[in-house]
Amino acid sequence: MMNTETRDGATTLTENTAENRGWGPADWLIVGSAAGALGLSLFLVYQSVVVGDLPPGCGAGSGCGEVLTSKYAKLFGVPVSVLAAATYLGLIACWLLARNPARANHSVYWSALVALSVAVVGSVGWFVCLQVFVIRAICVYCMTDHALGLVAALAVLHVWWHGGRPVALPKAAGLAFVALLGVGAMAIGQHLAKAPVHQLDSGNAAHDKLTGGQLVLFEGKLTLNLADEPRVGPADAERVVVMLFDYACPHCRHSHELLRGMVADADTPTALVLLPMSINPKCNPAFEEAPDRFAQSCELAEIALSVFYSDPAKYDAFDRWLFETAAPRKAAAAKAHAEQRVGAEALAANLTRAKQVLTRNVNAYIHSGADRVPVMIVPGQGPVVGRIEDATAIEALFTEPGEK
């Protein structure tokens, strides 16, 4: 069993003799938390590899949906949850083998424990920073897994530091350096990886037509006169991207900015047609529920469309204003801002038309076959769904199919 001793005023955990070795607090803490992390990692592997879908609660607009569909969810095509599961399994195995100091290769097991624990700490730091500062969305499954793994790793390092240091400090420092090099290599590999483009089957996209500023999609179910739609770029553009999006969606906010940049930098005249919609069940029957951030997204889409029909020249600035903040604008604030731009009477007068167009846009989303937003449609190709990471991926929509 684990004995508690005091060294220089600090509480330490040490091992009893190999002949009478029961389970102490450190054993339960390390194995329990690592087993929890292992189980959660295996669940994510199962969802990704076997089910081929996101876990429950990770639907459209969710933080975990954004994280788990980003390029950082894999390393060279392998889900990072596979690497996590292997690491936690190794941590548990090495701890169980290292518990007996009389066992042959005892120091080898402890060397592996130190290296694996430092790798876990470094990996947790990397993936937490990614979610907070890069993706700007939180995956609850991932963060729970990180927390459990971090507890196990820190507990191992605590026992190593206060329990006689079965691996000498210089060697441990070298192992830690190698482990962090591995984490750094993983981070570089993920950063340099090409962002995935999730493209649905093209279906009847061959019947899409763009002629004289008129675009026909979904076998005639949606007809857009570009001059009469919210857009960025000329109505007679040679290339067109249609974007179905929700003003409360963080994925949409990111992709919206990239698409605007693409249009501005394009050598070939390009138009971005903006079709505001919502995934809130109040106005979108394709969804039974939506995260809290979408509570007022129906109203935001209606207000934006009403601004466009009141004064098309004012829509561009209003569209940018709605996406300025990471958190969705409140409907009351959006309405007040819209009234300042186009006047209360004009906004109210065009609200009925805005509601009708919102319904049309929602139906277009349903026709697309997508299960999340944003949806980007290039005539002749299958719809591309979800967050797009960079302009290169956006340009690829005009030249090659995405990842199905």
Please give the structure tokens belonging to residue 280.
Answer: 């809130």
d(CA 189, CA 43): 24
d(CA 265, CA 256): 14
d(CA 29, CA 75): 30
Q: Which residues contact 184 (CB under 8 A, 6 or more apart)?
A: 122
Mean pLDDT of 301-320: 98
pLDDT band at 363 (very low <50, low <70, confident <90, very high): very high
Please give the structure tokens belonging to residue 380.
Answer: 């002749």
Measured in degrees and rounded to the nearest 5, phi and psi for residue 184 equal -65, -40
pLDDT digits (tens, 9 = 90+) for 207-263: 899 998 999 999 999 999 999 999 999 999 999 999 999 999 988 998 999 999 999
d(CA 313, CA 292): 32
Q: Residues in the chain, how many?
A: 404
Residue 10 has pLDDT above 60, yes or no: no
Task: For residue 263, give the nearest of 237, 291, 236, 292 by alpha carbon.
Answer: 237
Task: For residue 364, give the nearest of 162, 176, 190, 229 by alpha carbon.
Answer: 229
Q: What percent of the chain has pLDDT over 70?
A: 93
Q: Which domains does the chain have, with CATH numbers?
A: 2-192 (1.20.1440.130), 198-396 (3.40.30.10)
d(CA 247, CA 253): 7
- DSSP-derived letter for residue 86 is H
CA pseudo-torsion sign 298, 301, 305, 310: positive
**Would you say the pTM of this structure is higher than 0.95?**
no
